[in-house]
Amino acid sequence: MIRVAQQLGHYSIAYIVYILILKLEYKMNERVETPKGDLVVVPNRFQPPKSGMHLNQTPSEYFRKKIPKPKKEIPGLPEQYKILEKEVDSQMRFMNFYRDQCKEILQYKQEERDDLLQNLQDTIQEIKEREDEIENMKGLFQESYKNKYSRLLQLQTIHQDLTAKLQEARENEEQLNRDREEFKARTDQQALQERDLNAEAVKLIRQRDEMKSRIESMREKIEDLHIIQSSYNEHYTHSQKTHSDNYLRIKMLHNQLQELKGNIRVYCKIRPVIGSDIGENARIEVDENRVVLYKKDTPFSFTFDKVFAPDSTQSDVFEEISQLVKSALDGYKVCIFAYGQTGSGKTFTMEGPAGSCNLAVLDAGGNKGMIQRSAEQVFQTSQEMQQYGWQYSIEASFSEIYNEEVRDLLDSSKKITAFSANLISPTSIPVTSLEELYPLLIQARHARAVGQTMANSNSSRSHFIFQLKILGFNASTSSRSEGILNLIDLAGSERLKVSQAEGERLQETKAINKSLCALGDVIQSLANKDKHIPYRNSKLTYMLQNCLGGDGKTLMFVNISPLEANVQESICSLRFAQKVNVCQIKR
Tens digit of pLDDT for each residue in 344-397?
A: 889 899 988 865 556 655 565 678 899 999 999 999 999 988 888 889 999 999
C-alpha closest to that of 540 among 553, 526, 521: 521
What confidence score (pLDDT) does residue 267 get? 94
Asked if residue 209 belongs to a domain, the reply is no
| Residue 553, beta-bridge partner list | 334
pLDDT digits (tens, 9 = 90+) for 457-466: 456 678 999 9
What confidence score (pLDDT) does residue 404 get? 83
Asked if residue 223 belongs to a domain, the reply is no
pTM over 0.75: no
Asked if residue 178 belongs to a domain, the reply is no
Domain shared by 271 and 125, yes or no? no
What confidence score (pLDDT) does residue 112 get? 87
End-of-domain residue from the set 102, 129, 156: 129
End-of-domain residue from the set 83, 105, 129: 129
What confidence score (pLDDT) does residue 48 get? 47
CA–CA separation, 342 vs 573, rounded Å?
11
CATH number at residue 501: 3.40.850.10
C-alpha closest to that of 271 among 261, 282, 255, 260: 282
Average pLDDT over the chain reads 79
Q: Which domain holds residue 454?
A: 262-581
Instruction: Indicate if the pLDDT at residue 322 is higher than 70.
Output: yes
pLDDT band at residue 11 under the 50/70/90 scheme: very low
Specify which of 43-52, 72-81, 204-213, 443-452 reaches the highest per-range mean pLDDT: 204-213
What secondary structure does DSSP assign to 54-120, as a single string? -TT--HHHHHHHHSPPPSSPPTTHHHHHHHHHHHHHHHHHHHHHHHHHHHHHHHHHHHHHHHHHHHH
Question: Helices 370-384 and 314-329 sit at what angle, rounded to 10 degrees?
Answer: 50
Asked if residue 570 belongs to a domain, the reply is yes
What confidence score (pLDDT) does residue 58 get? 52
Domain count, the chain: 2
What confidence score (pLDDT) does residue 21 get? 61
Mean pLDDT of the region 76-99: 79
Percent of the chain's residues with pLDDT above 90? 19
Asked if residue 425 belongs to a domain, the reply is yes
Asked if residue 198 belongs to a domain, the reply is no
Asked if residue 238 belongs to a domain, the reply is no
Asked if residue 194 belongs to a domain, the reply is no
CA–CA separation, 577 vs 136, rounded Å?
152
End-of-domain residue from the set 129, 147, 164: 129
What confidence score (pLDDT) does residue 580 get? 84
